[in-house]
Amino acid sequence: MCGIVGYIGKKDACEILIKGLRRLEYRGYDSSGIALHNGRKINSTKSTGKIVNLEEKLTEKNSVGTLGIAHTRWATHGKPTEVNSHPHSAGDITLVHNGIIENYQKLKEDLIKKGHSFLSDTDSEVIAHLIQEENIKFDFERSVQSAIKKVKGAYALAIIHKEHPDKLIVVRNSSPLVIGVGNNEFVIASDASAIIAYTNKVVYLDDGELAIITPTDYVVKTISNKLQKKQEQQLEWNDEQAKKEGYEHFMLKEIHDQPHAIQDAIRGRIDMENGMAILGGLTSVDKRLRSINRVIIISCGTSYFSGLVGEYMIEEYAGIPTEVEYASEFRYRKPLLDKNTVVIAISQSGETADTLAAIKEAKNKGALTLGVVNVVGSSIARETDAGIYNHAGPEVSVASTKAFTSQLTILTLIAVYLGRQRDMSMIMGRRILSELQKVPFLVSKILENEEKIKKIAYKYAKFENFFYLGRKYNYPIACEGALKIKEIAYIHAEGYPSGEMKHGPIALIDKHFPSVILAPKDSVYEKTLSAIEEIRAREGKVVIITTKDVTELHSDKYDIIYIPKTLEILMPIITAIPLQLLAYYVGTKRGHDVDQPKNLAKSVTVE
């Protein structure tokens, strides 16, 4: 996730853009850049690292202009280097981009054949060249429309043209973009936090729309040139609220980001015709992956629990023996590995010291190492032989939410990839992938039920102990649910396989010890019913998360949260959502700072 900002008006654009970048820094940054039109030409300046590094490069000469665009980058394609930083230019065109272009490889190949040469590894530079190519035939506006029709993926773009010092064009599809409407000036940005200091009158572009902005006016059209009538809105947010898009905490915002984050993990990675996952990051090791006979997943905390789900997925669908291990244990054992073992490291931050040390150990023993990492260019991404990026955008809240469901999404793709290299049929591959495409929508359906989950959370916020129970694919999710409520609400909670209760833990159950039970209608549903009965018989209070097609569970006996149905392999992405909301609302009810829980750090870079 990157941040874009643009200005057109009468004021010094540079100052406004730099301030805007600062406000967008929370969206993640590894580099930044700015382009200013001085009336004659466009001057671009870029720098890696913090925005202050960019400021140091700005001189009286390159910082003049009343039209400009700027970008804070959080790498998705290509390393966080200066050359990969935005703005990107081609001929007269200069632009900044937030999003992911799915078909950029193909577009790039075609453009190279037409004589274009590229400086960066980014998908974004391709759009600049594409517009420049169209600009040979059309005017600025039509060349943008024509180029965009060829682009597949997510984008918020701000584009300027050397010959048009009084025009800023912005386009949006699946990436956020807001236009701030001032008095003879406009500030555009990825979110309102970069705008709110200048105006609280805003227009939100919808997917497939572009705006042509001059210092005095703006027009919104569709990509197909149909005029759009837009409603201007008044924002009542302060700066802090604007960063969180009006949500009270980053954690809640990130929970709500999930339909998009899951979509971004899938974007461009599905080959429906062949029922196969397209994982470009594994191309270099594709051959070796065909001959591996053992998978070991190493990770910590929340990422460990996604690994546990991965174990079930890979064993069931790829038929490869899989183990999951805490990285902190793996590094000190004498793990038995060989060249036919693949070690998959899962890490949101890509900097977790234990996971990094475990990778080094695995490499020393000759295993192939892969990373499932959210932060591009992070240590784990660099240390592993190959890997897949989440593209979930930066996670600000210490408690992981969207990175977790994004990891589950990537693991599903890996299971299909490894499965299709082996015995999985094309029909099965297609079935899983087509259901996976529906998951973002199903997640948004659960989020619509937030009020009900909040009510239940408030009812249970007084308890000091919880069991979280699940079976098969949902056992790891029970563990993750318990971890979430520990982190956020400081409540003692244990995640258990529901079948294990009778072997000891049930001794703790009474009316003061509630259980949260994951019981979707799946292959182990009947077994889970028995666990529910055993707990009820001991006066234990029960919150049940289940699908609407169950007939045996009634709300007069239990607190029930209904979730939509999907394939069993995909259910963990669905069941995780209500557990995140439960933890969030119990934590906030108890008055905790849920974004920065005590004793915890976002990135654990020490042992």
What is the smallest separation between the CB atom of 397 and ligand AGP, expressed in angstroms? 8
Q: Which of 145, 258, 341, 347 binds ligand AGP (CB under 6 A)?
A: 347
Q: Does residue number 265 form part of the binding site for ligand AGP (CB under 6 A)?
A: no
Q: Which of 43, 48, 263, 302 binds ligand AGP (CB under 6 A)?
A: 302
Q: Which of 120, 193, 349, 412 binds ligand AGP (CB under 6 A)?
A: 349
What is the smallest separation between the CB atom of 215 and ligand AGP, expressed in angstroms? 45
What is the smallest separation between the CB atom of 485 and ligand AGP, expressed in angstroms? 11
What whole-number distance in Å separates Cα of residue 423 and Cα of residue 421?
7
Query: Using alpha carbons only, what angle is made at residue 483 by residues 479 and 485, rounded to the nearest 5 degrees?
Result: 120
Neighbour-count burial for 301-312, b at 16+ CB within 10 Å, e otherwise: bbbbbbbbbbbb
What is the smallest separation between the CB atom of 595 and ligand AGP, expressed in angstroms? 11
What is the smallest separation between the CB atom of 193 and ligand AGP, expressed in angstroms? 24
CA distances from 307 to 189, 302, 499 (A): 36, 9, 21
Q: Does residue number 143 form part of the binding site for ligand AGP (CB under 6 A)?
A: no
Q: Does residue number 72 form part of the binding site for ligand AGP (CB under 6 A)?
A: no
Closest CB to ligand AGP among residues 6, 301: 301
DSSP secondary structure string for all residues of 199-231: -SEEEEPPTTEEEEE-SS-EEEEETT--EE---
Using left for φ > 0, alpha for ψ between -120 and 50, and beta otherwise, residue 275 falls in left
Q: Does residue number 399 form part of the binding site for ligand AGP (CB under 6 A)?
A: yes
What is the smallest separation between the CB atom of 545 and ligand AGP, expressed in angstroms? 19
Q: Which residues is 294 bridged to in the sheet?
A: 341
Catalytic option among 50, 221, 452, 602: 602
| 551 Cβ contact list (under 8 Å, min separation 6) | none
Q: Does residue number 379 form part of the binding site for ligand AGP (CB under 6 A)?
A: no
The candidate with the shortest Cα–Cα distance to 70, out of 35, 118, 119, is 35
Closest CB to ligand AGP among residues 189, 381: 381
Local structure of 271: helix, strand or coil: strand
Q: Does residue number 124 form part of the binding site for ligand AGP (CB under 6 A)?
A: no
Local structure of 286: helix, strand or coil: helix
DSSP single-letter state for residue 364: H
Cβ-contact 330, 361 below 8 angstroms: yes
Window contacting ligand AGP (CB under 6 A); options: 110-118, 127-135, 383-391, 392-400: 392-400
Q: Which of 76, 132, 258, 348 binds ligand AGP (CB under 6 A)?
A: 348
- AA identity, residue 332: Y
Residue of this chain nearest to ligand AGP (CB atom): 301
Closest CB to ligand AGP among residues 153, 587: 587
Q: Does residue number 258 form part of the binding site for ligand AGP (CB under 6 A)?
A: no
CA distances from 541 to 97, 238, 455, 456, 516 (A): 50, 41, 15, 12, 9
Reading the block at residue 373, the tokens are 């990492």
Local structure of 80: helix, strand or coil: coil
What is the smallest separation between the CB atom of 601 and ligand AGP, expressed in angstroms? 8
Closest CB to ligand AGP among residues 120, 378: 378
Q: Does residue number 355 form part of the binding site for ligand AGP (CB under 6 A)?
A: yes
Q: Is the peptide bond before 321 cis (omega within 30 degrees of 0)?
A: no
Closest CB to ligand AGP among residues 85, 347: 347
CA distances from 463 to 245, 338, 458, 508, 515 (A): 31, 48, 10, 14, 11
Local structure of 340: helix, strand or coil: coil
What is the smallest separation between the CB atom of 30 and ligand AGP, expressed in angstroms? 16
What is the smallest separation between the CB atom of 299 and ligand AGP, expressed in angstroms? 6
SS3 content of the chain, % helix, strand, coil (to 5): 40, 25, 35
Window contacting ligand AGP (CB under 6 A); options: 53-61, 345-353, 523-531, 585-593: 345-353
Site for ligand AGP in 470-529 (CB under 6 A): 487
Tally of CB atoms within 10 A around 482: 24
363 is catalytic: no
Q: Which of 20, 301, 387, 520 binds ligand AGP (CB under 6 A)?
A: 301
Cβ-contact 496, 505 below 8 angstroms: yes
Reading the block at residue 191, the tokens are 């979110």
Place of tokens 């699940």: 470
Q: Which of 32, 193, 303, 341 binds ligand AGP (CB under 6 A)?
A: 303
Q: Which of 202, 300, 424, 583 binds ligand AGP (CB under 6 A)?
A: 300
Closest CB to ligand AGP among residues 161, 253: 253
Q: Does residue number 398 form part of the binding site for ligand AGP (CB under 6 A)?
A: yes
What is the smallest separation between the CB atom of 306 and ligand AGP, expressed in angstroms? 9
Closest CB to ligand AGP among residues 135, 355: 355
Cβ-contact 285, 371 below 8 angstroms: no
CA distances from 588 to 250, 412, 448, 492 (A): 12, 32, 19, 16
Closest CB to ligand AGP among residues 416, 576: 576
Q: Does residue number 352 form part of the binding site for ligand AGP (CB under 6 A)?
A: yes
2 is catalytic: yes
Window contacting ligand AGP (CB under 6 A); options: 32-40, 272-280, 343-351, 430-438: 343-351
Closest CB to ligand AGP among residues 132, 303: 303
Query: Using alpha carbons only, what angle is made at residue 564 by residues 560 and 565, rounded to the nearest 5 degrees?
Result: 115
β pairing state of 93-101 and 164-173: unpaired
The candidate with the shortest Cα–Cα distance to 342, out of 371, 367, 314, 373, is 367
What is the smallest separation between the CB atom of 572 and ligand AGP, expressed in angstroms? 16
Q: Does residue number 409 form part of the binding site for ligand AGP (CB under 6 A)?
A: no
Q: Does residue number 344 form part of the binding site for ligand AGP (CB under 6 A)?
A: no
- AA identity, residue 356: L
Helices 426-447 & 402-421 angle (0-180, nearest 10): 170
What whole-number distance in Å separates Cα of residue 480 and Cα of residue 304?
9
Local structure of 414: helix, strand or coil: helix
- Size of interface with ligand AGP, in residues (CB under 6 A): 16
β pairing state of 322-326 and 294-299: parallel
Q: Does residue number 547 form part of the binding site for ligand AGP (CB under 6 A)?
A: no
Catalytic option among 2, 14, 300, 479: 2
Active-site positions?
Answer: 2, 602
- Which residues are near ligand AGP by CB under 6 A? 300-303, 347-349, 352, 355, 398-400, 487, 600, 603-604
